[in-house]
Structure 1
Amino acid sequence: MKAIVQERFGPPDVLRLAEIESPVAGPGQVLVRVRAAAVNPYDWHLLRGDPYVARLLGGVGLTRPKSRVAGIDAAGEVAAVGAGVAGLRPGDEVLGFCPGAFAEFACTTPDLLVPKPAGPTGLTFEEAAALPMAAVTALRGIRTVGRAEAGQRVLVNGAGGGIGTFAVQIAVDLGAEVTGVCSARNAELVRSLGAAHVVDHTREDFTGRGERYDLILDNVGGRPLRRLRRALAPRGTLVANGGGSPGHVLGAMGSMLRVVAADPFVRQRLRPLVPSVPNGPVRRDLLAVTALVEAGRLAPVVDRTYPLADTAAAVRHVERGHARGKAVITVA
């Protein structure tokens, strides 16, 4: 099968298209014929082995990548099921977390897959692939960890990105008054998703506007915690999700540790958002996301699609922060 492989840590240029042996579904596993795979910031962090502390913790590999084939988000068809797998059969259209998704086939487990939603007008495989990591992370940030409620003022920093576009829609669906922080080129997109207010981060710092929010979902990082708290209501909640740039020892983990350390000493709720890669009740969250899609209350925003051979260009596009919504690989 064709796959994007990585032999060493480095920039997107280390990725190459190769012919490798197709995986086989073992007991309790599902083999997915990948039709589309989405690119996430998670992918370029793994690509570079960043932050460096992650290598020491064993999550990405110490001197070389732990996984030869990259990618995690996929949509496609069940090709085969292993012994003990019930409820899935070859030909079923699915989406979910599939390690090694940048390939024609990938193996995963049934608890990481859900049926591909039809949606009001039907979803393409590319649109379905855009859902897993970004939409689940947004759901957890806004609803599970952030506890957003109707009538609250919610700010989404990085509203034009993959997680941000989902987060704006989920907060609006819950009845919140949403402010999206993004670049000027994404302002109309964010408004079209339901944001009542948009702040252009290139012209204005949302932490210095004198506005207070019940919930801030920070997908960007880079601002001192004291400034973020200044924009929170006295009993407001800050959900810190990622941020950072390549080459850092701690990266986003550093800012999350600061949030955890400060929380016991302030009235505001300061919470880190653990990445959905995958952990916790993944299938429950995937089903919640697809239910919103099927009800017409959530829609993926696909910025660009790339052929499998151009995966390095897609990862580079996401790493540079240029994606509006999601960048997706069309595999087959």
Structure 2
Amino acid sequence: MKAWTWNRYGPPDVLTLRDVAEPAIARDEVLVRVRAASVNPYDWRHLRGDPFLARLHAGLRRPRKGLLGADLAGVVERVGADVATLRPGDEVFGEVPFGSFADAVAASPEKLAVKPANVTFEQAAAVSMAGHTALQALRDAGRLSAGQRVLINGASGGIGTFAVQLAKVLGAEVTAVCSTRNADLVRSIGADDVVDYTREDFTTRAARYDLLVDIVGNRSLRDLRRPLKPQGTLALVGGLVGGGRLLGPAAQLLRGALVSRFVSQRIVTVSWKPNAEDLRYLAGLMETGRLTPVIDRTYPFVEVPDALRRLETRHAQGKIVVSG
């Protein structure tokens, strides 16, 4: 089969499309023929080994796995002897730790769900990592409930577009922070109010929020706490910028854990935990039209490096997908 491989850290140019052996599956795994995948900051951080902290997962001197890609959607081709929840021919979506930028991948049924019939493979491939992160930031870390006010910094990106829609599903009043060119987009997916950060500093607003979800990571903890209510919650997703070459976004998360001990507001760290239950919940919302993945661009499978370059510009509206 074809797969994008790499053997050293660097820009997308280090990726090579090669013929590799089709993966074997364990008794508790399934083989999924990949129809679409999406790119995430998770991917390019591992690809570049930047911050250095990412190498603890991928390999200190060189990548251990040699494969890239997490999000996927496709068709189950084979199932292990112990798998009872899926069968060959099922159309599924979800994620794997590495390897979705390939024709096929071995996956755990615990991180997959059946794709709704009214959702394309490209849409489904956009969901897992960003959708899980948004849902768990709002519902679990943020404890968001109906009638509360939430502000989402980074509302037009992959995680942000899911967060805006899911916050509305949970019954919240949503304020979205984005640039001028993305204002219409976030309104179209449910934002009640939009802060154009090129014209207004959202941290100096008079309004007070029950929850602030920070996806960007470009403001200090002091700034981010300012628009919160005294007992409000600051949910730190990690961010795309800041923190330096050693820790990257983790630096802000560590500062948050320290500061939270001394202030009345809750400061919590969000890390996605892929699981079939949440995927089924997201699938139900898509099936009923309450959640629609926002796709910035779709690239052919042979252009995975270009998809990663587009992601690194940090200007994508929603998710970037590869297909075919």
Q: Is the TM-score greater than 0.5?
A: yes
Are 2:3 and 2:20, in contact at CA under 8 Å, matched by a contact in 1? Answer: yes
Aligned pairs for 1:248-267 (under 5 A) are: 248-267=245-264
Moved over 2 A (4+): 244-247
How many Å apart are 1:181 and its aligned residue? Answer: 0.5
Query: Which position in structure 1 is the counterpart of 2:206?
Result: 210
Aligned mates of 1:244, 1:300 — CA distance in 2: 20
SS in 1 for 2:181: helix
- Aligned with residue 322 of structure 2, among 316, 326, 329: 329
Deviating more after overlay: 237-246 vs 155-164 = 237-246
- Aligned with residue 168 of structure 1, among 164, 168, 171: 164
Are 1:216 and 1:238, in contact at CA under 8 Å, matched by a contact in 2? Answer: yes
Query: Which position in structure 1 is the counterpart of 2:139?
Result: 143
1:127 aligns with 2:123: yes
SS in 1 for 2:293: coil
Deviating more after overlay: 19-28 vs 183-192 = 19-28
How many Å apart are 1:33 and its aligned residue? Answer: 0.1
Q: Deviations over 1:228-285 (max 9, x none)?
A: 1111111110000111448621111110011111112111111011234x4xxx1221
Aligned mates of 1:53, 1:86 — CA distance in 2: 37
How many Å apart are 1:136 and its aligned residue? Answer: 0.8
SS in 2 for 1:59: helix
SS in 2 for 1:150: coil
Query: Which position in structure 2 is the counterpart of 1:306?
Result: 299
- Aligned with residue 237 of structure 1, among 233, 237, 240: 233
Are 1:10 and 1:48, in contact at CA under 8 Å, matched by a contact in 2? Answer: yes
Aligned mates of 2:314, 2:54 — CA distance in 1: 22
Query: Which position in structure 1 is the counterpart of 2:223?
Result: 227
Identity of matched residues, %: 55
SS in 2 for 1:8: coil
- Aligned with residue 272 of structure 1, among 260, 266, 269: 269
Are 2:154 and 2:214, in contact at CA under 8 Å, matched by a contact in 1? Answer: yes
Question: In the alignment, residue 105 of structure 1 is paired with which amino acid?
Answer: A
SS in 2 for 1:106: strand
How many Å apart are 1:38 and its aligned residue? Answer: 0.7
Question: In the alignment, residue 266 of structure 2 is paired with which amino acid?
Answer: R
Aligned pairs for 1:43-192 (under 5 A) are: 43-55=43-55, 58-98=56-96, 99-118=98-117, 122-192=118-188
Aligned residues: 322
Deviating more after overlay: 20-29 vs 232-241 = 20-29
SS in 1 for 2:195: strand
Question: In the alignment, residue 327 of structure 1 is paired with which amino acid?
Answer: I
How many Å apart are 1:210 and its aligned residue? Answer: 2.5
SS in 2 for 1:312: helix
Gaps of 5+ in 1: none
SS in 2 for 1:284: helix
Are 1:37 and 1:73, in contact at CA under 8 Å, matched by a contact in 2? Answer: yes
Are 1:4 and 1:308, in contact at CA under 8 Å, matched by a contact in 2? Answer: no
Aligned mates of 1:83, 1:175 — CA distance in 2: 42
Are 1:148 and 1:215, in contact at CA under 8 Å, matched by a contact in 2? Answer: yes
